[in-house]
Amino acid sequence: MTVGKVATKHGLAPIAASTHPFAQWGVQKHTDKERYNVLARDFQVLARRLFMCGLHVHVGIDDDGIRIDLMNQVAYFLAHRLALSTSSPFWRGEDTRLMSYRLTVFDGLPRAGLPDYFTSFGEYQCFVDQLAGAGLIDDATNLRWDVRLSARFPTLEMRITDVCTRLDDSVTIAALYLCILSMLCRLHTVNQRWRICPRGLVRENRWLAQRYGTDGELVDFGKGQRVPYEELVNEIIALVREDAERFDCVREIEHARDIVTRGTSAHRQQGTFSTALEAGKDRATGLKEVVDMLIDETTHGL
């Protein structure tokens, strides 16, 4: 709310969403910093299209070997987090009918998407060193994976999720990610681990979450069948309840059920737009009403 009050003084307003409903990326200017200037120079139109935002969550894990092992395992759960966070159905004034259009833009960059599978931290470091040695990257900060080892901190950073418009939804995304990693650490202490699925299978769930969000199904690869998302959320909550109790965030993870019931930001954006059109308003007015809804929820929608 403080940011909103300051912005209002300048005739502006913040919105928490991964894409702006009708802004045109071609007329935007990037921040004049060396990192972004290099990005624009190297990737040209791919960089200029990056008119979007993502929600990144860091969880501290000191042991590099465990971080790599958990990065391999947690990839299975990334689509489940994406579905809960979707907030980018519109792109340049069009309803894309994707709940998270943001990923289609970001995936155009090199070294984006799901990370490779690494058998050890040494293998990962060799991979990074080869890329850097060939002049392809400066360091591991140029790996733009959905989940990655932070190059600056001893953390495992999740990057797949859209920006949630409501703060309580963001807290739920962070709490679930923390609890899932805690659960995987518990398995590690008794010499067990979550199943490692081929990346091609994980990508299928990633696409289902991107396209349908919480409305659709994801594949339970243990069962070998598609399962309604609501059932999967209940299973995950049960799976990590012990961890949620440890971190005193049971209420936060159970809020995931509320998100499924009332919908994500993407649902509310599409609903606002449809309501405006059904009332006889033109597309431009409908899109402005979507932005007004986003402003209101960003600043007050807790």
pLDDT at 301: 60
Q: Is the pLDDT of residue 302 over 60?
A: no
Q: Rounded to an integer, what distance in angstroms lies between the CA atom of residue 21 and that of residue 213?
A: 18
Digit-coded pLDDT (tens) for 28-42: 888 899 888 988 898
Q: Alpha-carbon distance 283 to 273, whole Å?
A: 8
Q: What is the pLDDT of residues 147-191, one digit of tens each?
A: 999 999 999 999 999 999 999 999 999 999 999 999 999 999 999
| Residues paired with residue 88 on neighbouring β-strands, in sequence order | 100
Instruction: List domains and CATH numbers for the chain.
Output: 2-297 (3.30.590.20)
The pLDDT confidence band at residue 22, using thresholds 50, 70 and 90, is very high
**Considering the chain, what is the average pLDDT of its residues?**
95
User: What pTM was estimated for this model as a whole?
Assistant: 0.94
Task: Kindly indicate the confidence band of residue 4, based on its pLDDT and cuts at 50, 70 and 90.
Answer: confident
Confidence of residue 59 (pLDDT cuts 50, 70, 90): very high
Does the pLDDT of residue 213 top 90, yes or no? yes
> What pLDDT does 5 receive?
83
Per-residue H/E/C for 238-261:
HHCHHHHHHHCCHHHHHHHHHHHH
| Residue 1, pLDDT above cutoff 80 | no
Tens of pLDDT, residue by residue over 224-279, are: 999 999 999 999 999 999 999 999 999 999 999 999 999 999 999 999 999 999 99
